[in-house]
Amino acid sequence: MKKKGAGSWHDGPMTEPAGAVTAALSKSDSTDSTDSIDSTDSTDSTDSTDSIDSTDIPRTGRTNMTRVTVIGGGYGGIAIAKALDDVAEVTLVEQKDTFVNHTAALRAAVDREWAERIFLPYDNLLARGRVVHGTALGVRGTTVSVAGMGDIEADHLVLATGTAYPFPAKHLESSSIIAKARIERAHTNLEQAGRVLIAGAGEVGIELAGEITSAFPATEVVMLEAGPDILHNRDYKPELREAIRFQLEQRDVEIITEDQLVALPPVDPGVLSPFRVTTKGGRRLEADMWFRAYGSAAATGFLGENYDEIRHYDGTIRVDDHLRVVDHPGVWAIGDITDVRETKRADAARAHAEVVATNIRSLIEGRAATAVYTPQPEHVVLPLGPDGGASQVLRDGVRVVVGPEETARMKGEDLLLGYIAKALGVKS
């Protein structure tokens, strides 16, 4: 039996998440996935009326080149910036002071070594272009207004701002120092917690449960899911759910489905403070700390009212088959913010970037933009710690489910660090 923490639960999220970063970077120029995570959220705001052009920030001697601005330095953002660096005057606008490998963020919450490794510098990403650290405040045509820097004009604007998602799956802090401090507090609290509630049994909640039970096997974990099953609203094979559920039960994880909280716990996620909550089904749950594993939101608020007609209720924006933003000439979108019907994954963001880079190259060379994006069948790499998990992958166009060993080889052991470090020009 596992150790008992403060209180006990009797029988607990609410809704499951939109997905976590799962797949890998694969090409030499580069990617949530399980997102995807490619994300930059506009949370800071300062007014500025100054204008930035090619003379404001030192360049490498290039003139009269097509200007491309990419907003968002996540998986898709770094891929397209790197892909166009040799043919265009590229500016990457990113709020955070480092790249955050959100694929490994859940591992970082339980492993202090990984808490350092998920933050990688942008310094070596571009050979010719520039990375500007600042918050995008608004967009007019292909011009973006950046807090404290004014306007950056471009011929092509690529929106790659990703999604916001609750801690610890994503870190929205601009400062890596602050983000690391929050991770350290959560890790210290997990070391002392006897019982942890995870609200949500989608990809993120499951992966988090796997990380906690791998690092702290004596800690009890209870998962509360509003849907009828884990991973319930994804087009996954039943064998995947069965494999994941079996492994979680082997770790003594309690899985409660078709129920949700009446109200959120009275303490912040990741904070050690015993609490009691009630579910709509009448269960009373007690735990020492909790995490929210649902509530993805596309980071498109900075786009303003002129995007309202093409923006959906979840914040995603309409794109055509070429990934051009509908009714906005010269503007493209990639990654989680698009309304492409597929799970938000890092590999999907990377594939989007390849299509848009091909199209912009064609336009630079005086040809038509003909590259189109076709969503792939649903797949996921879902580790449960370093040596557990299961995955749904494509083999010769057929969806198959593989177990812990192969899942670990694909993602669980290194969590894409090697691929991402190579893309950023960083020694892993």
Phi, psi angle pair for 200, to nearest 5° = 125, 130
Q: Please tell me which residue, 21 or 369, carries the higher pLDDT value.
A: 369
**Among candidates 203, 206, 209, 205, which has minimal Cα distance to 221?**
209
- Which whole number is the average pLDDT over 172-191? 96
N-term to C-term CA, the chain: 39
Confidence of residue 208 (pLDDT cuts 50, 70, 90): very high
For the four alpha carbons of 305, 20, 292 and 257, in that order, the dihedral sign comes to: positive
Confidence of residue 428 (pLDDT cuts 50, 70, 90): low
CATH number of 51-169+297-375+415-424: 3.50.50.60
Lowest mean pLDDT among 121-125, 292-296, 408-412: 408-412
Confidence of residue 234 (pLDDT cuts 50, 70, 90): confident
E-state strands within 211-348: 220-224, 254-256, 275-278, 284-287, 289-292, 297-298, 331-333
**pLDDT at position 63, please?**
57
Tens digit of pLDDT for each residue in 385-401? Answer: 999 999 999 898 899 99
Domain regions of the chain by residue span: 51-169+297-375+415-424
| pTM (2 d.p.) | 0.84
**Among candidates 383, 282, 344, 277, which has minimal Cα distance to 76?**
344
Tens digit of pLDDT for each residue in 37-65? Answer: 333 333 333 333 333 333 343 444 445 89
Phi, psi angle pair for 115, to nearest 5° = -60, -25
- Which whole number is the average pLDDT over 357-384? 95
**Residue 295 CA to its chain's centroid (Å):** 12
Partners of 34 in beta bridges: 21
Partners of 92 in beta bridges: 70, 131
Partners of 275 in beta bridges: 287
Confidence of residue 294 (pLDDT cuts 50, 70, 90): very high
How many other C-beta atoms can be found within 10 angstroms of the C-beta atom of residue 236?
A: 22
**Among candidates 239, 231, 212, which has minimal Cα distance to 385?**
212
How many other C-beta atoms can be found within 10 angstroms of the C-beta atom of residue 47?
A: 9
pLDDT at 26 over 80: no
Tens digit of pLDDT for each residue in 131-166? Answer: 999 999 999 999 999 998 999 999 999 999 999 999
**pLDDT at position 415, please?**
87
- Using a 10 angstrom Cβ sphere, with 0-12 exposed, 13-18 middle and 19 or more buried, the burial of residue 144 is buried
**3-state SS assignment for residue 421:** helix
The Cα–Cα gap between 232 and 17 comes to 11
pLDDT at 2 over 70: no
Tens digit of pLDDT for each residue in 313-355? Answer: 999 999 999 999 999 999 999 999 999 999 888 999 999 999 9
Contacts of 277 (CB under 8 A, 6+ apart): 12, 197, 261, 262, 263, 264, 265, 284, 285, 286
Average pLDDT value over all residues in the chain = 86
List, as one string, the DSSP characters of 137-169.
EEEETTEEEETTTEEE--SEEEE---EE--TTT
Percent residues over pLDDT 90 in the chain: 76
Tens digit of pLDDT for each residue in 243-282? Answer: 999 999 999 999 999 999 999 999 999 999 999 999 999 9
CB 305 within 8 A of CB 311: no
The Cα–Cα gap between 169 and 186 comes to 12
**pLDDT at position 242, please?**
97
